Amino acid sequence: MSIDFYKALEISAIGIIGVFVFMTLFYFVIIGIDKLFPHKKEEE
């Protein structure tokens, strides 16, 4: 296997973990903002 293959493996491992970290972070952002600023009836 070429050097690029091993580089691709490393980038993939970091990339997959990275995207899950980001999305988990955004998940908590959604939960947090939704709790802090709940919908109020008067907005309707």
Partner 1 sequence: MELEQLLPAIAGMSWRNLIMIVIGLTLIFLAIKKQYEPTLLLPIGFGAILVNIPFTAVLTQNGIEGPLNVFFEAGIATEIFPLLIFVAIGAMIDFSPLFQRPILLLFGAAAQFGIFMTMILATVCGFDIKQAASIGIIGAADGPTSIIVATQLARDLLGPISVAAYSYMALVPIIQPPVIKALTSEKERKIRMQFDANKKVSRTTLIIFPITVTILAGLIAPSSLALIGFLMFGNLIRECGVLNSLSQTAQKELANLVTILLGITIASTMTGEKFVQLSTLMILGLGIVAFVFDTAGGVLFAKLINKFIAKDKQINPMIGACGISAFPMSARVIHGMGLKEDKHNYLLMPAISANVGGQIGSVIVGGLILLLVPLFA
Tell me which residues touch partner 1 (CB under 8 A). Answer: 1-2, 4-5, 7-12, 14-16, 18-20, 22-27, 29-31, 33-34, 37-40, 43-44
Calpha distance 27→32 (Å, rounded): 9
Cα gap 24→30, rounded to integer Å: 10
Q: How far is CA 37 from the centre of its chain?
A: 21
We find the least distance from the C-beta atom of residue 38 to partner 1, in angstroms, to be 6
Min CB(21)–partner 1 separation in Å: 8
